[in-house]
A and B are shown apart, each in its own frame.
Chain A
């Protein structure tokens, strides 16, 4: 009896799998909470979708897909090309400067609605001035390493 009680009050951790001791606890609690949220929130929501009262998130929503996906693709491309262009001019920060200019220009054009001459000029000037300023202040004044 006594040994049974003391084994309940103590934990023995196998050294081989000791690194998974804490993550396993977290996984089990997360799994439990996931089942709970499925039962309390997702199931009633899906039922109301079936009845046609609500629409599915993301899939059933009206949104500006062009801008949303465009933004994500541009951000990923920005990070990728920064490294590529940065390798051409190592330790100068020109990779950051050039790619940021293109990125800011494309992002601003993506969100531009009235393609007037004035709006375009502002976009182009902003795309040149803003990254240059950031590059000068951070890379030159604060000597932060940029690609």
Chain B
């Protein structure tokens, strides 16, 4: 482990890598500030820039983007009451009232420092938990991997869509798309319709960029309203001074945020908005002055922002240790890792330990850059909000194009991206969610090849999938979760119906 860190240090502390991380963080902050541009989209758009870089440099840049976008959603949330990213929704509860009291700088200072502490703590959690989980995963056989992929899909389906049914359908669309192309066991092509480009299956990147970036552009085009212009914030902030002492004084909220983020993070599909809302709710419960929450209370901001960034490290645990992403942004990051020739999973910790520890350190460095850049550049980031939306639409499409074309120079992938963009637009519109599709696309090949390999190994007997202890644990938890979600839906429906009856 120590040699891994020493190798990693050598990879991270090079001028090029540090510059790449700083650049990624800066661009991530800009993307996070703009409402509607999520961190998943930010990474998807930055992917092409990393193609020519060595793995740690490229992944470091993407981690910087993730870190920056995770923290900067708080800027419009505090100044304009508009969350820049879904995970900063809860920041508006206390951030905006504080800004209205004339303390916008204080709110930003607290948010930045809380994000920093959250990020650093989650890096510690990540570096402590990921290696043992990866080691444990070395015991996994075909049955376990199959059950794990079903478990991952069920979890994301139950939280990502507006209903369990819709989430499952979205996940299965992903599973279906993953079966297009050459079959992983027998090598026969399926559903390719004679298209040569489909023989290798649907590439992850066009699907990702289509679902997360193009769908957003289409939404903007579809629901375009020229009268909808963002007003400049009335709160003048030149520089946001980091508020270390005040943040530490709210240690209870900070701890609650870090724990909520770290616990929710590794759960596939849970996402930042859930982590931050859980943190806010818990911080209020643990607080001695819960009545102050929602009226510009520092602890509210600290809990939400620390949870936001603590989530990222947590989400990286299953991504790196098992190859199963925790949420949308890490799914895109997984795509980036694969393009870099780094296959996430338990073997990664054995074969490329320098890279993995380099990634941990790069994430730590990204948090420091986030702190510095956010504090110094706050004036610029507030101005970014004023860039007209229409100018962004075409620029985003140009970047999507480069991202997809840059992988292998195949024009067919561009049409795949457009098709996924349309699919993503309609899925989002009708509450199916796009994250399950991506997870289905990633987990589909794992599920299929392990199901068939398992059946071959066990001579056609499918009972080992239900009798091997680890495998059955995953399946039981998945079934339990399905039942729990159904029960919760039933309860909500009954509660909704009760007032009508009365």
Write the residues of chain A forming the contact surface with B, with a CB cutoff of 8 angstroms. 9-13, 15, 18-23, 26-27, 29-30, 33-34, 36-37, 40-41, 57, 63-64, 67-68, 71-72, 75-76, 78-79, 82-83, 96, 100, 103-104, 107-108, 111-113, 126, 130-131, 134, 137-138, 142-147
Q: Is A67 a contact partner of B224 (Cβ separation < 8 A)?
A: yes
In the complex, what distance in Å separates the CA atom of A10 from the CA atom of B309? 47
Determine which of A19, A79, A107 lies in contact with B418 in the assembled complex, contact meaning CB atoms within 8 Å. Answer: A79
Q: Does the CB pair A143–B394 fall under 8 Å? A: no
Given the contacts A134-B402, A142-B51, A142-B52, A107 and B394 also touching, CB distance less than 8 Å: yes
Smallest Cβ distance from A90 to chain B, in angstroms? 11
Residues of B within 8 A of A23 (CB): 176, 179, 190-191
CB proximity of B486 to chain A, nearest CB, Å = 12
Interface residue SS majority, chain A: helix
Say which residue of A33, A79, A113, A134 sits within 8 Å of B414 (CB atoms).
A79
CB within 8 A of B217: which of A10, A26, A71, A100? Answer: A71
Chain B interface size, as a band, is 35 or more
Are A79 and B415 within 8 A (Cβ)?
Answer: yes
Question: A9: which B residues are within 8 A, CB to CB?
Answer: 461-463
How many A-B pairs fall under 8 Å by CB? 144
* B124 lies within 8 A of chain A by Cβ: no
* Sampled A-B contacts (9; CB under 8 Å): A9-B463, A19-B190, A23-B176, A34-B169, A36-B165, A75-B214, A134-B398, A138-B402, A142-B49
Residue in contact with A143 in the complex, picked from B52, B226, B398, CB distance below 8 Å: B52
Is B455 a contact of A113 with CB atoms below 8 Å? no
B284 at the interface (CB under 8 A from A): no
Contact A103 B418 (CB under 8 A): no
B221 touches A144 (CB 8 A): no
Chain A residue numbers with a CB within 8 Å of B214 are: 75
Q: Kindly list chain A residues whose C-beta atoms are within 8 Å of the C-beta of B52.
A: 142-144
Other than A22-B179, A22-B447, A144-B51, give 5 A-B pairs with Cβ distance below 8 A.
Answer: A22-B452, A33-B169, A112-B390, A143-B52, A144-B48
Alpha-carbon distance A71/B358, docked complex (angstroms) = 42
Q: Please, which residues of chain A bring their CB within 8 A of the CB of B179?
A: 22-23, 26
Report the minimum CB–CB distance from A27 to chain B (whole Å): 7
Which stretch from B67-75, B110-118, B404-412 is at the chain A interface?
A: B404-412
Q: Given A12-B460, A78-B397, A112-B390: A144 and B455 within 8 A (CB)? A: no
CB of B221 within 8 A of CB of A146, answer no
Identify A13's interface contact among B394, B401, B405, B460, CB under 8 A: B460
Q: How far is the CA of A96 from the CA of B418 in the complex (A)?
A: 18
**What CA separation (Å) do A111 and B217 show in the bound complex?**
13
Q: Is the CB of B414 within 8 A of A130?
A: no
User: Across the two chains, which residue of chain B brings its CB closest to A106?
Assistant: B394
Known: A22-B452, A138-B49. A15 touches B402 (CB 8 A): no
- Chain B residues contacting A147 (CB-CB under 8 Å) are 405, 409, 411
Q: Is B251 an interface residue (CB 8 A)?
A: no
Cα distance A37–B394 in the bound complex, in angstroms: 36
B218 CB–A CB distance under 8 Å: yes
A79 touches B461 (CB 8 A): no
B422-467 residues at the A interface, CB under 8 angstroms: 429-430, 447-448, 451-452, 455, 459-463
* Contact indicator B224/A64 (Cβ below 8 Å): yes
Q: When chains A and B are docked, how far (Å) is the Cα of A83 from the Cα of B405?
A: 10
Task: Tell yes or no: B399 within 8 A of A by CB.
Answer: yes
A10 to B452, CA, bound (A): 13
Whether B176 contacts A26 by the Cβ 8 Å rule is: yes
Given known A-B contacts A67-B221, A71-B221, A107-B393, A100 and B48 have beta carbons under 8 A apart: no
Say yes or no for B172: interface residue by CB 8 A criterion.
yes
A37 touches B165 (CB 8 A): yes
Residues of A within 8 A of B430 (CB): 57
A144 contacts which of B168, B406, B418, B461 (Cβ < 8 Å)?
A: B406
Report A-chain residues with C-beta under 8 Å of the C-beta of B405. 82, 145-147
A127 nearest CB across to chain B (Å): 8
Least CB distance from B195 to A in Å reads: 16
